[in-house]
Amino acid sequence: MNKLFVKKTVSCSIIMAMMLFFSPLVFSQSEDDFLDPQLEEDFFETENTYINDAIQKNFTIILTEHNYDLNPHTAEYNAEAQILTGLYEGLFSYDPATLNPVPAIAKSYLISRDKKRWTFTLRDDAYFSDGTKITAESVRESWLSMLKNPRAPYSSLFEIVAGAKEFKNGTANENEVGIYAIEEYSLSVHLTNPAAHLIRLLCMPTFSVISKNAHVYSGPFVLSDFSTKHIVLEKNPYYYDKENTHLEKITFLLSNDDVENSHLFNTGKADWISSSVDLKKIILKSASHISAEFATEYLFFKMRNSIWQNTKFRQALLEAVPWQELRANTFVPATTLVYPLNGYPKVQGYVYTDKIEAQSLMKATRKEANIPEDEILELKIAISESERMKKHVEILKEAWSPLGVELKTVEIASINYLKEIAQTDADIFSYTWIGDFSDPLAFLELFKGNSTLNVSNWNNNDFNRMLLEAESLNDLQHLERLSQAEQLLLDEAIIIPIQHPVSLNIIDLDAVGGWTTNAFDIHPLKYIYKKQTQCEVPHLAKK
């Protein structure tokens, strides 16, 4: 993945090829036929400038091979969000360094005294890629379209908007949703409760502005090619901030071949790897960037009318989990669901194993449920072909066998894993979740009853109430109430937290600007640029 030669290879290789091409002619001619020294110098300087200028405007990124969904309303994966930062834009976008919201299509906003009415003033120079204006009505139509799409996974986050939940459920019409285009460039949003995190939500691709017409975009780039092996974006000539969008073309190569990916980086054919890579083969070691993500890897129980819906059975299992062994070889072990945030109260997570307590609780629960002590309890876990996941299964199988539990596996292809959870007959699934905005709600929403993100089917009225109450509270009280909700979730033994993953990116920051490591591992494409570098051709002597 290292870019020791990447920033030089293409331009230098072209020049070297030119030298080799012309060399037979040179050697067959007399000295009088050589170029004038000044003309020769001017030729190479002009040619090098032309080649470098073309290279500076093109960028190649290697992403994981996957069936990409580039509809912001239905996209679910982090890699898709990365591409979508280039194709679509909403009222706000991410700051490339801090990930704080920065104005995009919105120019400014006002909040009412009761904090339930937000009025956004939009830019009057924002256009879709077909040249049509982006107006307040464009925003309203886009959000309504997202709300009524049953495949939109994040739509429940917008239930803070008055009437949104009822509109989603079909019990209200679009005129009853609290999104109003007051004037051409003025949008009013009415909330059910104060929600200070609204502008952070509006940075997410889900809430970007989408045209009714396919292949029309609101962001700095447009999609010019899309296949199973590559995705190509080109600069949007109608984008309001095109002067500060540095790249003309971005090519995404889709590959899980770590050796080939490393080779492409080392030879200058890729500028950034965000996929599989063989670190040992990367030449430029300083190009490796590892950072903690605002994310958690965990296992969760799915409620499906089995004995595992009984909280005490799940609690018995978690008492027996060998946590140190399960979290071995992780950079940041996770004892809870929510990634630690400044000011977030401490939550009691899972840190120790008590086999005696596990057996005692299992025995008592079996008795309450009229299940004989010697009856084998079947527990199904859905796994992919990942060796790591298979290792987890072996650890849990050994830990739960003394409790009279037989852990059986149901295999799902990695590429279909998330989409198959709803219809797969299993009790436990694996999940890795990256928070999309810096609030515990980014994680807790996954377990809210009737949330579009809730694939566990767990529904707890007390938990739901705490999340609702947190929306109306100030910062410290907001975090306190959410920590209470998370504690309830953990006490109910719904999840088995494993680790807070780290992101690995290969990119030479001496050659690339506008890219910063961050907790979301999202890097808005409009800010990325190539730094000017000088091509040095070995053994080339100028007269």
Quickly list DSSP for 383-414.
Answer: E-S-HHHHHHHHHHHHHHGGGTEEEEEEE--G
> Quick one: DSSP state of residue 127?
B
pLDDT of residue 260: 97
Q: How far apart are CA 248 and CA 359, in angstroms?
A: 63
Among 240, 220, 72, 39, smallest CA distance to 142 is for: 72
Residue 98's pLDDT is what? 85
Please give the chain's pLDDT, 543 residues, in tens: 222 222 222 233 322 232 322 233 232 333 333 334 454 444 444 444 444 555 678 999 999 998 999 999 999 889 999 999 999 999 999 998 888 899 999 999 999 999 999 999 999 999 999 999 999 999 999 999 999 999 999 999 999 999 999 999 999 999 999 999 999 999 999 999 888 889 999 999 999 999 999 899 999 999 999 999 999 999 999 999 999 999 999 999 999 999 999 999 999 999 999 999 999 999 999 999 998 889 999 999 999 989 999 999 999 999 999 999 999 999 899 999 999 888 899 999 999 999 999 999 999 999 999 999 999 999 999 999 889 999 999 999 999 999 999 999 999 998 788 889 989 999 999 999 998 888 999 999 999 998 989 999 999 999 999 998 998 888 789 999 999 999 999 999 999 999 999 999 999 999 999 999 988 899 999 999 999 765 444 433 333
Contact 444, 319 (CB under 8 A): no
- Give the pLDDT of residue 45: 47
From the CA atom positions of the chain, what is the Rg in Å? 27
Place of tokens 């924002």: 126
Q: What is the DSSP letter of 301?
A: E
Q: 3-class SS at 248?
A: coil
Token output for 488: 């309830």
Q: What is the DSSP letter of 333?
A: B
Q: What is the DSSP letter of 462?
A: H
pTM > 0.85: yes or no = no
- Supply the pLDDT for residue 418: 85
DSSP label of 303 = P
| Region for 202 from its dihedrals, namely left if φ exceeds 0, alpha if ψ lies in -120 to 50, beta otherwise | alpha
Structure tokens at 432: 């890795």
Question: 349, exposed or middle or buried, with CB in 10 Å at 0-12, 13-18, 19+?
Answer: middle
pLDDT of residue 20: 29
Give the strand pairing for 249-254 and 230-235.
antiparallel
Please compute, for residue 509, the number of CA atoms within 13 A of its CA located in the half-sphere on the CB side: 10
Long-range pairs for 413-420: beta carbons < 8 A, 24 or more residues apart: 413/384, 413/385, 414/384, 414/385, 414/386, 415/66, 415/67, 417/382, 417/384, 418/76, 420/382
Q: 124: how many CB neighbours lie within 10 A of its CB? A: 12
Sign of the dihedral defined by the CA atoms of residues 58, 62, 64, 67, in that order: positive
CA dihedral 75, 80, 86, 90 (to 10 degrees): 30
Q: Rounded distance, CA 534 to CA 51, Å?
A: 11
Distance of CA 522 to the CA centre of its chain: 6
At 431 the three-state DSSP class reads: strand
Rounded CA separation 142/434 (Å): 24
**The tokens 């377990």 sit on which residue?**
447
Classified as helix, coil or strand, 187 is strand
Structure tokens at 444: 């807790």
Instruction: List, in sequence order, the alpha helices (H) in 306-386.
Output: 311-320, 323-326, 355-368
Give the three-state DSSP class for 277: coil
Q: Are 274 and 63 in contact (CB under 8 A)?
A: yes
How high is the pLDDT of residue 56?
75
Both tokens assigned to 490: 């953990």
Show the tokens assigned to 9: 């290879």
Question: DSSP label at 531?
Answer: P
